[in-house]
Amino acid sequence: MAFSKILVLCSSITGLTLAATETTSWPLYSPTSAPMFQLSSDSQIAFYLAETIGLSNWAGANTGEVLRIATQVVPNDFESVYEAYYYMAEQLFSVAESVDTTKDPVSAREAYYHAATYYRGADFFLHGNQSDPRLDSLWDQQLDSFNKANALLNIPGERFTVKAHSETVGDYEAIGIFYAAYPDNCRGARPTIMVGGGYDSSQEESYHSTCAQLLSRGVNCVTYEGPGQPTVRRHQNLGFVADWWSAATPVVDYLSTRQDVDMSKLALNGLSFGGILAPIAASRDSRYSAVIAIDGFHSAQDAFGQQFPAELIHLFNTNATAFDNAMNSIVANSTYPSSLRWVIGYGLWAFDTKSPFDWFTRLGEIVMSPEVVRDLHMPVFVAKGQDDLSTLDQPEVAYKMLTTGRANGEALTHWHVFNTSMGAGEHCSLGAESQLWQVTMEWLSDVWGGLSYADNKPAYHGQSRE
């Protein structure tokens, strides 16, 4: 999830004068004191470049390719991001298409994966204009490229759709991809983790950042998307909903029909905004044996609100029309920080609305409420990056609620901080996912009765298995 700190400087928004100082106490960027070296002076673009380069750990990108892209992007210029990523995507897709897959499926697969990643990158900063046709065409290209790569895995992921119903939007289809750790149920029913994205991440990206880690340990991985998330938002025109269990529960129903899923060892994972969505879903379904919330929120509205100028929050509370005008002017003005423009523009698109007031109101309806906490009866793992400035103190708030707001909360809740000194202190331990999953899977092993994981790394890379 591509959140960087929201930084608002002195300026005037349609007659509204913002505070003349930064809204937070974050220091100016210094490469020797920052949690992670920035590839751009624009903190939001730099964060997304870091997110992209992190996928190279598991064949989602190549470092040289991303470093080249970084030379072509211009701070505060979203079109330059599109151009740099799209050029690289097209080149890599052409390479993949030229490979004889009967001779070298590995080269074709990796080139297709890289192209898919870069098509997503080309799309990422375009959402401020919801009518931009590239939002659909780029996504079609990334799906095509990802599917061609997936088909070249030793065990291709199985795409599925399940019928779902939300009190907010009515009937719809949740979608997912099931990645089996072993072929043909040859090892029997396996532990399985459902991986949910958040505010902006796609299930295709989750294959590289998360599923490869799980498959390497002999654990099935299931990605899924519901309203507001990239493909469902595009193909079904549905924004985020507060009753998120409506997307997750039908996926669990589907998993319960599979012979290769050990339903006694089913965990639900959520990163960033997904760290709200996962507890919401688990509070309505007792079939999960554990919940994992990495750099999650108690309330994203609270976190954003703490970083917005006080004048904007005052308008939200007193004048919806003026709030809409002010926020829309920010999205349209490239002199404002990219982090602020992006978080608003993407939010409007993800919630399928043109009104910032409607977006921010509905964002506040998706919360880890006391009722959600009370109904979480399974162990919950809560973690944060030491210098994750995007979530502020939200993981700590969530942890406190989970320990005090439910029966046996202290025993059922585990807290972990990933260290900046080890390169894991950014949001969701970006680029250091091996550390994240080492700690998380060790905790899950205890939850699952001391389970020992298999060394199944070839499962990820498409090689033959013993």
Query: Could you report the per-residue pLDDT of 8-47, keeping only the tens digit for each?
Result: 443 445 455 443 333 344 456 777 777 789 999 999 999 9
* 383 beta partners: 294, 416
Which of 433, 412, 417 lies closest to 289 in space, CA to CA? 412
* Cα gap 125→23, rounded to integer Å: 23
My answer on whether 180 and 293 are in the same domain is yes
| CATH code of the domain covering residue 239 | 3.40.50.1820
pLDDT bin (cut points 50, 70, 90) of residue 456 is: confident
My answer on whether 277 and 389 are in the same domain is yes
* Cα gap 463→303, rounded to integer Å: 44
Cβ atoms of residues 150 and 179 within 8 Å: no
Instruction: Give me the pLDDT at residue 33, please.
Output: 75
Report how far apart, in Å, the C-alpha atoms of 133 and of each of 65, 110, 126, 127, 234 are. Answer: 26, 27, 10, 10, 11
My answer on whether 400 and 464 are in the same domain is yes
Whether the predicted pLDDT of 243 surpasses 50: yes
My answer on whether 254 and 117 are in the same domain is no
Could you tell me the residue range of the domain that residue 241 belongs to? 158-299+366-466
Residue 237 maps to a domain:
yes
Q: Of the residues 152, 172, 206, which one is the last residue of a structural domain?
A: 152
Instruction: Give me the pLDDT at residue 35, please.
Output: 79
Other Cβ atoms less than 10 A from the Cβ of 326: the count is 21
Query: What total number of domains does the chain contain?
Result: 2
Cβ atoms of residues 56 and 433 within 8 Å: no
My answer on whether 113 and 256 are in the same domain is no
Task: Give the rounded distance of the alpha carbon of 250 from its chain centre.
Answer: 20
Residue 92 maps to a domain:
yes
Query: Could you report the per-residue pLDDT of 214-224, keeping only the tens digit for each?
Result: 999 999 999 99
Tell me the two tokens of residue 315. 């308008």
Residue 170 maps to a domain:
yes
Which of 232, 214, 264 lies closest to 448 in space, CA to CA? 264
My answer on whether 122 and 50 are in the same domain is yes
* Cα gap 230→300, rounded to integer Å: 19
Cβ atoms of residues 164 and 239 within 8 Å: no
